[in-house]
Amino acid sequence: MDTNLQAVAVFNKLADLYQERFMDVNMYDADLRFFCTALNKDKAQILDIACGPGNVSRFLLSLQPELNLWGIDLAPRMIELAKKNNPTARFSVMDSRKIFEITEKQDAVVCAFGLPYLNQNECAKLIEDISNLLHPEGLVYLSTMEDDYVKSGPQKGSTGDEIVMHFYQSSDLKTQLLKNNLSPIYENRVYSEGKDGQTVCDLILIAKKAQ
């Protein structure tokens, strides 16, 4: 079974609920502001992978309305919501595992919490594809839930729907970034309380492609 497509089906079903809960991304304010400052380019071309309802896209556009932003997600309902939330941006239904088909070079790529739904091989391939898409000195913003990969597996959400989640650690992701000529320039962690009172660690990494 393609566990990624299974996750997409759940997100398509729960897209409106997801929008209600996660449109506010202010807890990542410092990270996204650093990303925009480091971008340092007018009318930059940005690809937002696994864009969901356009929550990160909306925040970025609030900081830099002139951005040429294209968001992709495999859940059609998420794309419908993203278009409504960001009428000046472009959004398409597309699998993150097929971004190698994109011919437009990007100044930056954002993948906010798309990695948990990709296995190790898919994650490594995505980072390679992102590097190939970026202009020299282009930026990539990655965020994911940090934990040991061996803890990956089926997880039930508050609605009872089950999704296979994959966890990654900073050292593993940085190894993949460096392997693809992407040098980390920023690292941060945001902690919150998850289900059953457990602490959830969100890892944010920003890297720059070599000249």
pLDDT digits (tens, 9 = 90+) for 74-111: 999 999 999 999 999 999 999 999 999 999 999 999 99
Look at residue 158 and tell me whether its pLDDT is greater than 80.
no
The candidate with the shortest Cα–Cα distance to 50, out of 115, 140, 135, is: 115
Query: Is there a contact between 86 and 71 (Cβ–Cβ < 8 Å)?
Result: yes
Structure tokens at 51: 């864009």
Query: Is there a contact between 163 and 114 (Cβ–Cβ < 8 Å)?
Result: no
Q: Which helix (H) or strand (E) holds 92?
A: strand 90-93
pLDDT (tens digit per residue) in 11-55: 999 999 999 999 999 999 999 999 999 998 889 999 999 999 999
| C-alpha dihedral, 118 to 122 to 127 to 131, nearest 10° | -130
Query: Is there a contact between 96 and 30 (Cβ–Cβ < 8 Å)?
Result: no
Split at pLDDT 50, 70, 90, the class of 1 is low
CA–CA dist 206, 211 (Å, integer): 16
* pLDDT value at residue 5: 84
Question: Which domains, from first to last, does the chain contain?
Answer: 3-209 (3.40.50.150)
Bridge partners for 139 per DSSP = 108, 208
The whole-number average pLDDT for the span 151-178 is 93
Stated pTM of the model: 0.96
Structure tokens at 1: 């079974």
pLDDT, the chain, mean = 96
Structure tokens at 205: 């990494």
